[in-house]
Amino acid sequence: MGSIETAETREKRQRLARARRTALLLLLVVTALFVLAQVLRQQHPLWPWVAAFAEAAMIGALADWFAVVALFRHPLGIPLAHTAIIPRNKARIADSLGSFITGNFLSTERVLAALREYNPAAQLVRWLARPQAQAWLDELLLTLLGQVLLALHDPRAQHFLQEGLLLRLRRLDLAPLLAGLLESLEGRGKDGQQHRVLDEILRELDRQLDEPEVRERLIAVVAAEMSVLRYVSLDRAAGRYLTEKLVHGVQRELREACRDPQHALHGRLDDWLAELAQQLRHDPQLQARLARAQAELLTQPGFTGQLAHVWLALLDRLQDDLQQPDSALRRQLATVTGSLAVRLRRDPAMRAWINEQVEAAAPRLLARWREPIADFIAGQVKAWDDRTMVDRLELNIGTDLQYIRVNGTLVGGLIGLLIYGVGKMLNTL
C-alpha cells in the first residue's frame, strides 16, 4: 500500500488470506461433491440427497461470495449496479462514521457518566503519589520554564511584550489609582496599618539624614546661601553648624513622631494625604498634569530602555538560578509538587472541587469540539483513496465476512437437503 506495514497489519493480512482460502476450498469441495453425486446418482438412493446438499451449498457459497465482494469492488471486474458499495459511498460513509462516533461515544451523558466513574481527582492523587510522577512533573515544568525564558530573550518577543506593556500603561488612569493608594494610607482607626507605613517612611527619612553624603550635600546647599561669609572663610563652617542643628531638630521630630501615634505630624500627614487624594479624584487640572507627566515619561527613550534592562536582568537571573545545582526555583517547585498529593489526599473538599470543575467543563468542551471531531474523522476517511479504504476495511472485517461465506455454504447445503426432503414427501402424497 505504499507504506511500511506493522506486525499487527501483516498478521491481519495473513488471517484474511487464510479465511479466503478456507471459503474457496469449501466451495471447491462441494462443487466436486456435486459432480460426483451427479455421476453416481443412480448407484445408490443417498446420492440424490448428496447432490441436493452440494447444489444448494454451491448456490449459497456463490451468493455470499458475490455479496461480500460487492461490498468492496465489482465482482469479476464487471461494473454491475449496486456493487463496489463502499468505494462508491465513501463520502456518505465518512460523514455517517463521524456522526456515529461523536453521537454515541461523545454524547454528554456518556462522557459525564464515564468521568464520574473515573473520578479524576482520585486518579490525580494516585498519580502524584508516585515518586517517578513527581520527578517527571518537576522536570517537565522546569524544561518548559527554561524554554519560555529562552524564548523571551528573543528581541521580537521583547518588543511585543514591551509594546503591550506600554500600551497598557498609556491607558492606565493613574489619578484614581493613586487616590485609592493614598486613601489606604491616610485615616485613623484602621488598626494602625497606615501609621505603620508612615512610620517606615519617617524612619527612612531619619536614616537618610544620618548618611554622610546627604549631610555634605545639605552643608554645601546651606553654605551656598551664605555667600557673604565666603570672604572671611566662614561660609563652610556656618553651613555645617546650621545644617547640624537643622538635621538634629528634624531627626528629633521624626523620632518623636515614630514613638507617639498621636503626634501632630501624623495628623498633618493624614490631612495632607486626604486632601491630595480628593484632589486626584476631583481636580481636573491635577488629573491633566498627571496625565501629561505620565505621557511624557512613557515617551522617554530612557524609560523604555530601563524597562528593557530590568526585563533582561530578570530573565538572566531566573535562567542563572535554573542552571545552579541548588536552584531556588527547583527547590520551590519540588516542594510544591511534593506536597500536592498529600494536600489533595487530606482535602476532600478540594478533590470534590476538581471533579466538579472537570464535570462542569466537559459539556462546554464537548459542545465546542463534538462537531469538529466528527468533521475531522469524516475528513480523514474522505482523504483515503478507494484502494486504501477498501484495504483497511477488509483487513479489519474481511476475515469475518469470509466466514460468512463458509456459513453460507453449509447453511445453504442444509436448506437444500430440507427442500429436497419436502419435495420427496410431497411427491409421495
Residue 240: give the domain boundaries. 175-305
Residue length of the chain? 429
**Based on the domain organization, do 189 and 297 belong to the same domain?**
yes
**Is the domain of 187 the same as that of 294?**
yes
Q: Is 134 within a domain?
A: no
Q: How far apart, in whole angstroms, are the C-alpha atoms of residue 110 and residue 130?
A: 30
Compute CA distances 82 → 229, 244, 353, 384, whole Å. 120, 111, 56, 21
Domain boundary (305, 325, 355) is at 305
Q: Which of 270, 286, 305 is the last residue of a domain?
A: 305
The confidence score (pLDDT) of residue 231 equals 45
Give pLDDT, residue 208: 78
| Measured distance CA(138)–CA(330) in Å, rounded | 8
What confidence score (pLDDT) does residue 77 get? 85
Claim to verify: residue 397 and residue 280 sit in the same structural domain: no
Low-confidence ranges of the chain (pLDDT < 50): 1-2, 188-192, 228-229, 231-232
Residue 348 CB coordination number (10 Å): 10
- Picking from 167, 57, 126, the residue whose alpha carbon sits closest to that of residue 408 is 57
Burial call 231-267: b when 16+ CB within 10 Å, e when fewer: eeeebeebbbebbeeebeeebeebeebbeeeebeebe
Do 287 and 393 belong together in one domain?
Answer: no
Q: Is 68 domain-assigned?
A: yes
Q: Are residues 290 and 394 in the same domain?
A: no
Domain C-terminal end among 305, 331, 358: 305
Indicate if 296 and 395 belong to the same structural domain. no
How far apart CA 208 and CA 210 sit, in angstroms, is 5
Q: Does residue 291 share a domain with residue 198?
A: yes
Q: How many domains are contained in the chain?
A: 2
Residue 303 CA to residue 68 CA, distance in Å, equals 78
pLDDT (tens digit per residue) in 337-375: 878 878 888 899 999 999 999 999 999 998 898 899 999
Is residue 151 assigned to a domain?
no
Contact present, 418 and 57 (Cβ < 8 Å)? no
Residue whose C-alpha is closest to residue 166's, from 293, 303, 292:
303
Rounded CA gap, 20 and 230, in Å? 120
CA distances from 408 to 15, 71, 416 (A): 19, 16, 12
In this prediction, residue 64 carries a pLDDT of 93
Closest CA to 385 of 18, 90, 65, 7: 90
Q: How far apart are CA 168 and CA 175, in angstroms?
A: 15
Report if residue 367 sits inside a domain: no
Long-range contacts of residues 389-394, Cβ cutoff 8 Å, at least 24 apart: 389/86, 389/87, 389/90, 390/72, 390/73, 390/86, 390/87, 391/1, 393/72, 393/86, 394/16, 394/72
Domain-embedded: residue 366: no
**Is 33 part of a structural domain of the chain?**
yes
Do residues 153 and 316 lie in contact, with contact meaning Cβ atoms separated by under 8 Å?
Answer: no
Closest listed residue to residue 263, CA positions, set 253, 249, 276, 273:
253
Evaluate whether residue 393 is within a structural domain. yes
- Note whether residue 170 is domain-resident: no
pLDDT per residue as tens digits for the range 27-52: 999 999 999 999 998 888 899 999 99
Distance of CA 284 to the CA centre of its chain: 47
Instruction: Tell me: do 190 and 285 sit in the same domain.
Output: yes
- What φ, ψ does residue 349 adopt, rounded to 5°? -65, -40
Residue 272: count of CB within 10 angstroms of its CB: 12
